[in-house]
């Protein structure tokens, strides 16, 4: 189970919920958040960003299940389902927390970690390509793994690992195409230098003036003959 010893304490927010109010919350060292799920009403709260950051940076990350206490309410299990960062400094701006019913199936994305160096890389000149880095699964909250480890050391050149090859217990159901490629060993493609095409020298087209000049030149003797008859 992707559990945390960290407990999140949330304080209900009062007053207007606009940008200025959210800014005041952050100036006070907290961040605005929303708690929802488990068939209960959504509640606007404020939480300590340091606790949330610690959970997000833990091994199980956003899949971590923790105790959430909203002042005036009972302790519930919860997860972080969405969060926003300030684009420049990376500070947390807002998070969404979801109450978790431990007896209800959940859909989550779990990271895939590759272990070992493939034979096809060591001895056959290939490279390992990690195609799928997360896989979507369905299971009970208590069965959510922090990550799935797959040993790729036995992979030869052109060998591959599919979703259905990932280690898992019967409590986990893979969603999507189980034949989808997770990782494979392929050949290093050599880049071929582009062939430069030498542009042929443009041929000079027949110039209309040249033809005109030839016509004028041919008409000149006829004009001379006409003048000779007059004489």
CATH of the domain at 12: 2.40.240.10
How far is the C-alpha of 50 from the C-alpha of 30, rounded, in Å? 9
Q: How many domains does the structure of the chain reveal? A: 2
Per-position b or e across 96-111, b if 16+ CB within 10 A of its CB: bbbbbeeeeebebebb
Same domain, 80 and 159: no
Same domain, 146 and 89: no
Q: Which of 52, 77, 99 is the last residue of a domain?
A: 99
Residue 55 lies in a domain: yes
214: helix, coil or strand?
helix
Residue 52 lies in a domain: yes
Q: What is the mean pLDDT of residues 155-163?
A: 96
Model pLDDT, residue 192: 55
Residue 126 lies in a domain: yes
| pTM for the full predicted model | 0.70
Which of 185, 179, 55, 62 has its CA nearest to residue 114?
A: 185
Q: Which of 148, 165, 187 is the last residue of a domain?
A: 187
Domain range for 7? 3-99
Residue 6 DSSP code: E
How far is the C-alpha of 120 from the C-alpha of 20, rounded, in Å? 58
CATH of the domain at 168: 2.170.120.20
Residue 229 lies in a domain: no
* Cα-only R_g, the chain: 37
Q: What is the mean pLDDT of residues 181-204?
A: 68
Per-position b or e across 125-138, b if 16+ CB within 10 A of its CB: ebebeeeeeebebe
Same domain, 70 and 23: yes
Q: What is the mean pLDDT of residues 203-216?
A: 45
Q: Which of 99, 115, 132 is the last residue of a domain?
A: 99
Q: What is the mean pLDDT of residues 180-203?
A: 70
């Amino acid at each position: 189970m992707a559990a945390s010893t960290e407990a999140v304490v949330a304080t209900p927010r009062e007053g207007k919920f606009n940008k200025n109010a959210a800014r005041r919350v952050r100036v006070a060292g907290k961040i605005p958040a929303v708690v929802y799920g488990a068939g209960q009403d959504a509640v606007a709260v404020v939480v300590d960003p340091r606790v949330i950051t610690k959970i997000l940076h833990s091994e199980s990350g956003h899949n971590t299940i923790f105790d959430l206490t909203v002042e005036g309410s009972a302790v519930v299990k919860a997860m972080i389902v969405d969060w926003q960062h300030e684009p420049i400094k990376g500070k947390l701006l807002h998070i969404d927390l979801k109450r978790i019913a431990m007896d209800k199936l959940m859909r989550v994305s779990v990271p895939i970690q590759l272990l070992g160096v493939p034979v096809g890389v060591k001895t056959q000149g290939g490279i390992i390509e990690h195609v799928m880095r997360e896989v979507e699964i369905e299971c009970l909250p208590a069965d959510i793994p922090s990550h799935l480890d797959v040993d790729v050391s036995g992979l030869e050149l052109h060998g591959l690992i599919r979703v259905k090859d990932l280690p898992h217990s019967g409590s986990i159901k893979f969603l999507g195409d189980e034949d989808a490629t997770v990782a494979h060993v392929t050949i290093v493609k050599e880049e071929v230098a582009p062939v430069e095409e030498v542009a042929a020298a443009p041929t000079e087209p027949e110039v209309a003036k040249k033809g005109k000049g030839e016509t004028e030149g041919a008409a000149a003797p006829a004009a001379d003959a006409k003048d000779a008859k007059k004489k």
